[in-house]
Amino acid sequence: MRSKKSPIEYLAFLSIKYRVDADKFFQATLSAVENHRSNCGCLSIECRSRQKENVVLLITRGEKVVAQFTIPTEFLQTRNNPIDDIRNTNMLFRRLIKKDRSSHSVQVKDLRIGMKNVNLKAEVVEIAEPTLVVTRFGNYASVANALISDETGKIKLCLWNEQISSISVGDNIQIENARIYAFRGERQVRVGKNGALRTYRNLVAN
């Protein structure tokens, strides 16, 4: 691995670090070159100088300088988004994206049906009485819906078997690698076999 990143690799790294969409970041870069300055998420991009073969970009976050570097103008003339290409084809960047997603907790208000690999911290508001159901594999299982909330809203959490007894009303819980489903017109969080459901108390103990 090279010790020094290319400008394109560095932009890809910044898009991951500051959680900005690669396409929006690329378009914001083009806009900064044309209009001197642009914004993308929490980042501001300024074109400090423009020559025939290179442009100098200054990237800031608030009053803090994030980076200043020279980038080839040919980078701005590519048909495909080179930032996205680097993120998708470079194994290191794929690992960084996966790590970033797994470490970032979302809020209830941001949950959308179809989302995967969701991490969420919430409080258990109520837990319904379990019911016995027959699964599609012909097995019996206990299932119960819990209502969980954070400062942005509430959502139902589907609990299966031993998950039901693992949490109680009033617990602060951390959910990892969950999915968001639609059930009877409502959003619902489900934690599968590859996910995790823990209370804060258990997190400290472990």
At 82-129, the pLDDT tens digits run 777 776 666 555 565 555 555 567 889 888 898 888 889 999 999 999
Q: Are 157 and 200 found together in one domain?
A: yes
Kindly report each contact of residues 112-117 with a partner whose C-beta sits within 8 Å and lies 24 or more positions away, as own/partner.
112/180, 112/187, 113/180, 113/181, 113/182, 113/187, 114/180, 115/179, 115/180, 116/179, 116/180, 117/177, 117/178
At 146-184, the pLDDT tens digits run 999 999 999 999 999 999 999 999 999 999 889 999 988
What is the tally of structural domains in the chain? Answer: 2
| 2 domain-assigned | no
132 SS3 class: strand
Q: Are 200 and 155 found together in one domain?
A: yes
Average pLDDT over residues 127-155: 90
Report the predicted TM-score, pTM, of the whole model to 2 decimal places: 0.50
* Domain-ending residue, one of 51, 72, 103: 103
Q: Are 4 and 13 in contact (CB under 8 A)?
A: no
Q: Please, which pLDDT band fits residue 204 given cuts at 50, 70 and 90? A: very low
| 1 domain-assigned | no
Give the residue ranges of DSSP H helices in 142-199.
Answer: 162-166
State residue 101's pLDDT score: 54
State residue 125's pLDDT score: 95
Q: Are 48 and 87 found together in one domain?
A: yes
Question: Which structural domain range is residue 69 located in?
Answer: 7-103
Q: Are 98 and 112 found together in one domain?
A: no
